[in-house]
Structure 1
Amino acid sequence: MRAARLHRYDTSLEGPEYLVLEELPDPTIVEPDDVIVRIDGAGVCRTDLHIIEGQFRDHIPMRLPYTLGHENAGFVAAVGSGVQRFKPGDPVIVYPQVTDGTCLACRRGQDMYCENGEFPGLTRDGGFAEFLLTKERNLVRLPDGVSPRAVAPHADAGLTAYHAVKRALRWLDPGDTVVLIGFGGLGHIAFQLLQVLAGVRTIVIDRSELALHLAHELGATWTIQAGTETDVVSEVRQRTGERGAAVVLDFVGEGLTPAQGLAMTRRGGAYFVIGYGGRLEVPTMELVNQEKAILGNLVGTYAELAELMELVGEGRIKVAVTYYPLTQINQALRDLRDGRVKGRAVVVP
């Protein structure tokens, strides 16, 4: 099979070629609960860029070369002798963490905290390939009429957005204002989820005119174009009667956004760190006096992915997708790096 492999880190992200297309043996069934998925689409995520630039090498064991791709969907190609819920040909989306199912975190339904979990595309070969080896417990059957390639980004982008929005509901009442910093793959999905679940006003902040155009298309209450001369905190406060936003969802998490995001959060509100790469420093007096909450957000649970697929099947959540053949994976990564992707990029083997 063909696969896109990372052989070396590129800390500056300047190289025109990040991944190398290679021919590898097809995966094979080894254990009774193994499943091989024929990839129909694999989402391209900013995490892939962070992996390429080496941000994970001191935190997660990785052995180069390996295959990236953690937003995967496709059709079941083969199953182990113990698999009961799926058969070849079934359309599926793949929960990103391969879990053991027996540790305490898994027993509690907190799949992303699995004590023995593996993450295809990070700690083992992922889905920028023609086939992916996974487990039965990682598969969610797609609703009738749903194309795997059209929903592949939900395996991480959609799931992460859904997890964050569900957690944010405790801070929200109808009519409150939510700020979304960054309106790429995660942001535009989170926006739709807020409309379905919360009934709030929304302020979208992004540097990209393409992203802000998409926000207008979807019906954002206000948009703000970030830039060197834009005081986004003052803009948000002006639109919220100087109170600030009840919830800020930061899908960027680097540069100026952590400080700005916390500053535009109202008293008693919550600032969600979803994107990453930067640093956040805050006086403890501000947290006490303002009673602001700061929450990290790590993907989501298997059950939440199944719930999200129900909303997708009902046509209530859609992903704006730009398709690339696997042979153009490096172009997809460059376009993501340079802000030229509307919504989410998906590679198709």
Structure 2
Amino acid sequence: MQAARLHEYTDDMSEALTIEEVDRPEPTRSDHVVVEVEGAGWCQTDNHIVEGMWEEYAPVDLPQTLGHENAGRVVETGDEVTTVEEGDRVICHPLMTCGTCRRCRLGDDMHCENAQFPGLTTDGGFAEYLLTSERAAIRLDTLDPVEIAPHADAGITAYHAAKKAADELVPGSYAVVIGIGGLGHIGLQALDSMTAARTVAVDVKDAALDLAADCGADYTVNSADEDVAEAVEGITDGAGALQVLDFVGADATTSLGPDLLAGRGDHHVVGYGGHVHEPSQTLVDAEIAYRGTLVGTYTELQELVALVEQGEMDLHTTEYDLSQINAVAEKLEHGEIEGRAVIKP
């Protein structure tokens, strides 16, 4: 089969991956599922993997097939698989989890002690076929695998952050969403579907803010032209926001938290690459918190699929062939992709 392989870490996205012939995966465990990939989303995390940012956290032996936002058709299963069968269309949770460790039994499967992460620690879905497990596969009854594939990571991550924020938001409160890109536009819709809070979308591009308005944002702020803290202060009549969802995660955005938040508010760091530099007294005085967001659980992906089926979520995607994969990486690196890019192997 054809697969896009990473042979060495690099900052040059134009030649990041090599298309080559590799063996098709086969089930080697009774719970294994082989999926013919119909759509695989390209994620900013893929750029970070190419750059070597994940080497310290998830060391692997290269070469490796990337791709962790995967959906397609089941073509083969292990002997004990019962929840999906050959011919089923599925979306794949990013992790292959064990189900027996304490974290899995608590429903916290993103922190499974025995997890495998296709596209990060094992071969992923920028290929014609993907090896995953029964615990990762969610059957799709009516949805197109190509259109929904990015929800496997981008969607579930944005939903996971929005769900945590929704626990704290009440009618009349405000949430600020920073970065209306592939994740941010999903996060906005998730907040809109789960809360009665008013939302403030922040981005440096007018096109992204137009998308935010289409996704239900009550207010938009162009941070290239306006002081974000002053704008939010004016919008909230000085009260501040109860929740900030930061889909950028750069130093410039994480530093906004204390200036935007009301007392006991949370700054959810979803995008990454920057740092959090705040005096401890700043956090103590206002009782504000920085909270990380790592994808989400299997059941949250089920919930997200249900929202899509109900017409509550509109995912903006652009489709590309596998041969265009390095061009996609370059486009994302330069901020030239609105919404999500989907590779069709």
TM superposition score category, shorter chain reference: over 0.9
Deviation of 1:185 (Å): 1.3
Cα distance in structure 2, aligned partners of 1:311 and 1:69: 24
Q: Select which of 284, 289, 305 maps to 1:293.
A: 289
Corresponding residue pairs, total: 345
- CA gap of 1:345–1:262, structure 2 versus 1, over 3 A, is farther
Is 1:261 equivalent to 2:296 in the alignment? no
Q: Deviations over 1:288-319 (max 9, x none)?
A: 21111221111111111111111111111121
Q: Select which of 310, 326, 331 maps to 2:327.
A: 331
Deviation of 1:15 (Å): 4.2
Is 1:222 equivalent to 2:219 in the alignment? yes
Q: Deviations over 1:88-115 (max 9, x none)?
A: 1101000101111110101111101101
Is 1:99 equivalent to 2:71 in the alignment? no
> In the alignment, what sits opposite 2:185?
188
Cα distance in structure 1, aligned partners of 2:46 and 2:205: 20
Cα distance in structure 1, aligned partners of 2:309 and 2:156: 15
Cα distance in structure 1, aligned partners of 2:194 and 2:101: 32
**1:40, 1:348 within 8 Å by CA — same for their partners in 2?**
yes
Give the partner amino acid of 1:5: R
Local SS of the residue matching 1:168: helix
Q: Select which of 241, 245, 249 maps to 1:245.
A: 241
Q: Alignment identity in percent?
A: 48
Q: Deviations over 1:187-242 (max 9, x none)?
A: 11111111111022111111223212211222321112222x64222222221112
Cα distance in structure 1, aligned partners of 2:258 and 2:76: 48
Give the partner amino acid of 1:98: M
The worse-fitting range, judged by mean Cα deviation, of 74-83 and 203-212 is: 203-212
Deviation of 1:263 (Å): 2.3
Local SS of the residue matching 2:302: helix
> In the alignment, what sits opposite 1:6?
6
> In the alignment, what sits opposite 1:346?
342
Local SS of the residue matching 2:119: coil
Cα distance in structure 1, aligned partners of 2:36 and 2:2: 12
Cα distance in structure 2, aligned partners of 1:15 and 1:335: 9
Q: Deviations over 1:73-97 (max 9, x none)?
A: 1110111111112111101000101
> RMSD value over aligned CA atoms?
1.2
> In the alignment, what sits opposite 1:169?
166
Give the partner amino acid of 1:295: R
Cα distance in structure 1, aligned partners of 2:213 and 2:82: 45
TM-score (structure 2 length as normaliser): 0.97
- CA gap of 1:200–1:20, structure 2 versus 1, over 3 A, is same
**1:319, 1:343 within 8 Å by CA — same for their partners in 2?**
yes
> In the alignment, what sits opposite 2:206?
209
Q: Deviations over 1:264-311 (max 9, x none)?
A: 111121111111111111122222211112211111111111111111
Q: Deviations over 1:12-62 (max 9, x none)?
A: x34422111111111112111111000010011110111111111112111
Deviation of 1:262 (Å): 3.5
Deviation of 1:338 (Å): 1.3
> In the alignment, what sits opposite 1:282?
278
**2:13, 2:330 within 8 Å by CA — same for their partners in 1?**
no
Aligned residue runs from structure 1 range 53-202, under 5 A:
53-142=51-140, 144-202=141-199
Cα distance in structure 2, aligned partners of 1:210 and 1:28: 44
Alignment gaps of 5+ in structure 1:
none
Cα distance in structure 2, aligned partners of 1:105 and 1:268: 28
Give the partner amino acid of 1:166: K
Local SS of the residue matching 1:194: helix
Deviation of 1:320 (Å): 0.6
Local SS of the residue matching 1:336: helix
Give the partner amino acid of 1:8: E
Cα distance in structure 1, aligned partners of 2:258 and 2:48: 23
Is 1:18 equivalent to 2:16 in the alignment? yes
Cα distance in structure 2, aligned partners of 1:278 and 1:233: 19
Give the partner amino acid of 2:108: Q
Q: Deviations over 1:132-159 (max 9, x none)?
A: 00111110111x3210111111111111
- CA gap of 1:324–1:293, structure 2 versus 1, over 3 A, is same
**2:270, 2:294 within 8 Å by CA — same for their partners in 1?**
yes
Give the partner amino acid of 2:48: H
- CA gap of 1:15–1:94, structure 2 versus 1, over 3 A, is closer
**1:9, 1:54 within 8 Å by CA — same for their partners in 2?**
yes
TM-score (structure 1 length as normaliser): 0.96
